[in-house]
Structure 1
Amino acid sequence: MTESTSPREDDAAGVDRVEALFADLAAEEQGRTAHERMGELGDLVAGEFADHGLAHRLAGAVGAPVDVHVARTWFDGIIDAVGQQWVLLRGRVPGTPRALVNLSRVDHVRMRRVVHGADAVISQLSIRSPLRRFGEGRRECRVFCGADGLVLEGMIDAVGADYLQIRRGAAVDLVPLHALAAVQDLTPGGSV
């Protein structure tokens, strides 16, 4: 024996099904809208990355620790300053050598900050400017150059338009700036 339902109960069940259908459609639309927004956000993030280079990324980490691999050597330190062509690192421990790294020669950077720095943080000076500061201080330096990891030691004697002159006793070595990977300050307590 089947129980008969009243027309009123049938109408109520139909209304509930229609409301559930509309709720389901509304939830689907909200999900679609959220997905589109996430896509737009992804496009914005991708655009932000596309508009900035390595110098901007390093500028966002000024004052933070970083590891830079160049010329078969890891340089670790705190970012002191950044230019379009270079980054200046100070040692993480007081008294450890500072290093100037040519960004065009960098193989790998390991860092924790994931923001880009503002244009105002990036120095407009070429790599020749901090190199001259190393030379003015008559600092003993270790110079990393060439793809094979050649290392020279001496004092920066002069900085030309496209080369670096290193004095080692009576001898002078010339390193084209395009081959310069990094310069490490070996003078204890020196600052650039």
Structure 2
Amino acid sequence: MRWDDLFADLEAQNQALLLAERDAEVAELTRLETSRLRLAGRLRPALGAAVRIRCQGGLSLAGRLSAVGAGWLLLDEGAGREALLAVAAITSVAGLGRLSGAPGSALDEGLGIGHALRGVARDRSVLRACLTDSTVLDGTLDRVGSDFVDFAVHAAGEPRRREDVREVLVLPISALAALRRDS
């Protein structure tokens, strides 16, 4: 009977070691998968959720996350206002759940911020550009290059007319925190 107790105790210890090894391996694989996750993948499961976002330059926005792309997101601020945000300018996001997307998904390498900006330029919307240095400009996107935009500065709420354009600024895309528009 003593031998049976000894072997049962040894078997229990062996099972405990195997479970501990498996738990450590699962934890390490989870950390590895998380290390491959990009911010877009973290945001994508929160589509439709209410979030609060802070950006460089002190900009704070709140609304429903309506789209996420490679390097950008679209926030519905309510009351007909939308904001296209550059992910590179985001300093924090509040309101996300625990879910995350899959690391390295095709959407992470998909249509980047340049594509989104070209869509806005085609639309000819009157915008409020919030820059990472806290500068706020009203105007219209004229052109979008690979790493810059041409921004025609004119009165807020007024359509772009040649005679009303005060100046056209070339802005590095890296200087954009958000483009806001009323729909």
Any conservation in 2 of the 1:60–1:117 contact (CA below 8 Å)? no
1:107 alignment partner in structure 2: 91
CA distance 1:53–1:122, shift in 2 (3 Å): closer
Partner of 1:49: 34
1:177 matches 2:173 = yes
Name the CA distance, whole Å, in 2 between partners of 1:104 and 1:68: 12
Matches within 5 A, 1:122-133: 122=108, 124-133=110-119
What one-letter code is carried by the residue in structure 1 that aligns with 2:130? Answer: F
The gaps in structure 1 that reach 5 residues or longer are 1-14
For residue 13 of structure 2, what is the amino acid of its counterpart? E
Query: CA–CA distance in 2 between the matches of 1:20 and 1:121?
Result: 57
Moved more, 117-126 or 151-160: 117-126
Letter in 2 for 1:80: S
Q: Distance in 1 between matches of 2:97 and 2:129?
A: 27
User: For the residues of structure 2 that align with 1:40 and 1:96, how far apart are their CA atoms?
Assistant: 49
Inter-partner Cα distance in structure 2 for 1:41 and 1:62: 28
Residue identity opposite 1:74 in structure 2: S
**Higher-Rg member (1/2):** 1
Instruction: Give the TM-score normalised by the residue count of structure 2.
Output: 0.79
Cα drift, residue 114 of structure 1: 2.3
Alignment map for 1:13-32 (pairs within 5 Å)? 15=1, 17-32=2-17
The answer on whether the counterparts of 2:37 and 2:102 sit within 8 Å (CA) in structure 1 is no
The aligned counterpart of 2:121 is 135
**How far 1:41 moved relative to its partner?**
0.5
Partner of 1:60: 45
TM-score, normalised to structure 1's length? 0.76
Give the Cα separation in 1 of the matches to 2:50 and 2:106. Answer: 20
CA distance in 2, matches of 1:117, 1:48: 8
Q: Report the alpha carbon displacement of residue 131 of structure 1 after superposing the two structures with TM.
A: 1.7
Matched-pair contact (CA < 8 Å) for 1:143–1:182: yes
Matched residues, number: 169
2:82 aligned residue? 98
- 1:123 and 1:79 map into 2 onto residues whose CA distance is 19
| 1:33 to 2:21 alignment | no
Q: Verify the 8 A CA contact 2:70 2:107 in the aligned structure 1.
A: no
> Unpaired runs of 5+ in structure 2?
155-163
Structure 1's consecutive aligned runs of 4 or more residues displaced over 3 angstroms after TM superposition are 120-123
- CA 1:117–1:63: 2 relative to 1, 3 Å: farther
Residue 96 of structure 1 and its aligned partner are, at CA, apart by 4.2
